[in-house]
Structure 1
Amino acid sequence: MPRVIPIALQQHLDQDATTVCLCVRIEPAAPGYAPVGVTTLDRDLIVELDGDSNGSGLLTYRAAIGLNSSARVSSSDMSVDNAEGTSLVPEFDVPVSESELIAGAYDYAKWTSYLVNFEDTTQFVELARGELGQVRVLQGMSFTFEMLGMTKRLKQTIVEKDSLRCRAIFGSQPLGTPGAEVTQRFPCGREVAGLFVGSHVVEPGEENTVSFSTALSEPDGYFKPGMLRWVTGANAGRVYEVEEHKDGVLSLTFASMFPVQAGDQFFVRPDCTKWKDGPNGCKTWFGANWVLHYRGEPYIPVGDTGQVNAPGASI
């Protein structure tokens, strides 16, 4: 991207020896987490880098132990600019814990990188900005984060494709609906707030991140599929999909981030299968008016009866 280098910094860069370092500001997308700054310098920098249009304010850019950055790939076409950074899992140098990294608190965070003269911090230039990819923790020793440019969003599909199953998120409302948790251009339209049932874990299963017995009294299959939101415990605030519900035992589609403990409280509700027929299908929730809410094309002729999507389609 085009950038304007301050005259003083350019004069400094033209010298035989320079005192510059790289600073990266990371603003988590998850609520409740403060911005974090890291630098390749061997000491912390407390500086205000206002290259961000919103004003970044004073921030301590910490000298993270073991921080290593790859070469940054940038092009003049519409390719996604990218770089990758690796650092040791912080304990004292950066206010980021391993559990937060594993829980995804810094996934898809906004980042801005600067070139700074650490002897005169008024001399700096913004190099790039974008979003982080998924942060990966390797054997509890180090973590890796991918730094993607702003053109990444232009690679996303923004139009709908044909599909046999419904494409709408169950419970989504029209764009601009006040207080709606999820809004879509082509929404489901079903109110789901009243479907949640509160309960707690009676006993974790053999795989204590996947299955557990509960105090639920609903019949088998009522929460198949379902959505579960943890209220207390190590997983509090996280939402998981329910794959199986039988004899009061819930099984999650994907393992929870942390082990489930007896007494952990949660809310769970049934979800839609995204098919027009069958238990918890569209007709279950809308009856004869299902066609007004179904955001799919269930009558597309498909040669292979086992194929879920029409060729080239996605759900």
Structure 2
Amino acid sequence: MRTLSPALLAHLQGDVRTICTLWTITRKDGLVLGFTDLDRDLSFNGLVYRSTGGYTHSGIEAGSTLSTSNLEMQAIFDSSAVTRADLEAGLYDFAAVTIQLVNYLDLTMGALQLNGGLLGQVQILNGRYTAELRGLAQVFQHDAGSVYSPTCRATFGDSKCQFDASTVTYAGTVASVNNSISFIDPSLTQTGPTTSVIDVDGHFIPTRTPFTIQIVPPNGGAFASNNGVRDTSANYWSLVGGTPGDKQYNLAAGGLYTFSGGFNPGAFVYIDYSYTAGYFAYGRIKWLTGLNAGLRSQVKAFAPGVVTIALALPNAIQAGDTYSITAGCDLQPGTCSTKFNNLIHFRGEPFIPGQDVMISPKG
């Protein structure tokens, strides 16, 4: 229930109203900014609300149900307080927002809070940006609790994972830059272990030539070795060097499995295998110096001495930039065991049969 002072209520009920909205934004880094749709700056409760005539917002819709609020704000880059670099760096993602209404000719009347919540998706296009406001009811749209998953549900290094990520965090310096997302640091010589994958999703053998299944390891890894092919009855098929027969298969380099076109088209099989991935692949980088100091990046791929990040940074990476980089985890049980010796804290269920097995007829 909204409350407002009797003076502001009387003003709103009058024929002539001198009102404006005040947006208070608290970024993730703690910086508090104020904006108003008035044609001049306004000081209220110790905060200066900047006038940015280049922004508009949609009507505010709210009700007594738990449906999410419907509000969107559009603006152009005409304020030094909001920059493209800060938006692209994610400093405004999930920023806390409070929207108030005041009488700008008499601020002693107090304020009426119209809405509040968190900033959601921010889109940038042709010198302007659009941000959606997710109301407090948005929290009730999230799933509560955990669901079964063949991969780990923990975030590497958090309280559920319980692995000390500082033991696999290293300092580095950019030696040279390949492009906007790739750079070279010869000091990074780490290599990743071979990881085993237990297939719980399964594959259908194609019903037409060439009756092949190509294995694509998760997270950009490279196929290393075959660990067996089994059917829904947990019977293992035989690996042969020539043309496969019934319940047989042939394996080519790179993880290409060929099955019998005369006996097994349409059959459902599970393929277990091992793969290798870069030591820092899907890890994290924190930039310490340079134009991107304080920002973080996700590592997409890694080969000794060469780092590729997932998304380009707001500012160009430059030789001499220093950073800290943490090893990556692809959330597979083999990685948890082989790379980090942390299988006891693995938060997944890789041995639960997939949906196809669970709903298939038995008999």
Find the aligned partners of 2:326 and 2:96 in 1 and give their Cα distance.
32
Gaps in structure 1 of 5+ consecutive residues: 49-57, 174-186
Q: Distance in 1 between matches of 2:85 and 2:288?
A: 18
RMSD of aligned alpha carbons:
2.1
Equivalent position to 2:183, from 212, 222, 232? 212
Flag the structure with more relative contact order, 1 or 2, with Cα contacts below 8 A and sequence separation at least 6: 2
| CA offsets 1:120-149 (integer angstroms, 9 cap, x no match) | 11123111211111332222x212221221
Q: 1:23 to 1:269 in 2, by over 3 A?
A: closer
Structure 1 residues 225 and 84, CA gap change in structure 2 (3 angstroms): closer
> What is the TM-score when the length of structure 1 is the normalising length?
0.80
Matched to 2:53, the amino acid is I
The answer to whether residue 76 in structure 2 is matched with residue 47 in structure 1 is no
**Structure-2 residue corresponding to 1:201:** 174
Structure 2 match to 1:64 = 52
Find 1:298's aligned residue among 339, 347, 350.
350
Show the counterpart of 2:338. 284
Superimposed CA distance per residue, residues 72-123 of structure 1 (whole angstroms, 9 cap, x where no aligned partner): 121221101121111111345xx23232122121221111111111111112
User: Identity, % of aligned pairs?
Assistant: 33
Counterpart secondary structure, 1:108: coil
Corresponding position of 2:255: none
Amino acid at match of 2:18: T
Higher mean displacement: 162-171 or 98-107:
98-107
Residue by residue over 1:159-187, the C-alpha shift from the partner in whole angstroms, topping out at 9 and shown as x without a partner, is: 101000111111112xxxxxxxxxxxxx0
Q: Which residue of the partner structure matches residue 87 of structure 1? A: 75
Distance in 1 (CA, whole Å) between partners of 2:12 and 2:158 is 53
CA separation in 1, counterparts of 2:286 and 2:2? 45
State which structure, 1 or 2, has the greater radius of gyration over its C-alpha atoms: 2
Using a 3 Å threshold, how does the CA distance of structure 1 residues 106 and 224 change in structure 2: closer, same or farther? closer
* Alpha-carbon distance change, 304 to 30 in structure 1, aligned in 2, over 3 angstroms: farther
Deviation of residue 239 (structure 1)? 2.2
- Call closer, same or farther: CA 1:217–1:143 in 2, change over 3 Å: closer
Aligned length: 272
Q: CA deviation at 1:5?
A: 2.5
User: Partners of 1:86 and 1:226 in 2: how far apart?
Assistant: 34
Q: Which residue of 2 aligns with 1:184?
A: none
Within a 5 Å distance, the mapping from 1:219-258 to structure 2 comes to 219-220=190-191, 221-258=278-315
Length-normalised TM-score, structure 2: 0.70
8 Å CA contact 1:200–1:263 kept in 2: the answer is yes
| Stretch of structure 1 that moved more, 262-271 or 95-104 | 95-104
- Which residue of 2 is the match for residue 36 of structure 1? 33
- The amino acid across from 2:6 in the alignment is I
Structure 2 unmatched runs, 5+: 192-277
> Is 2:64 the partner of 1:76?
yes
Contact 1:69 1:84 in 2 (8 A): yes
Work out whether 1:164 is the aligned partner of 2:218.
no
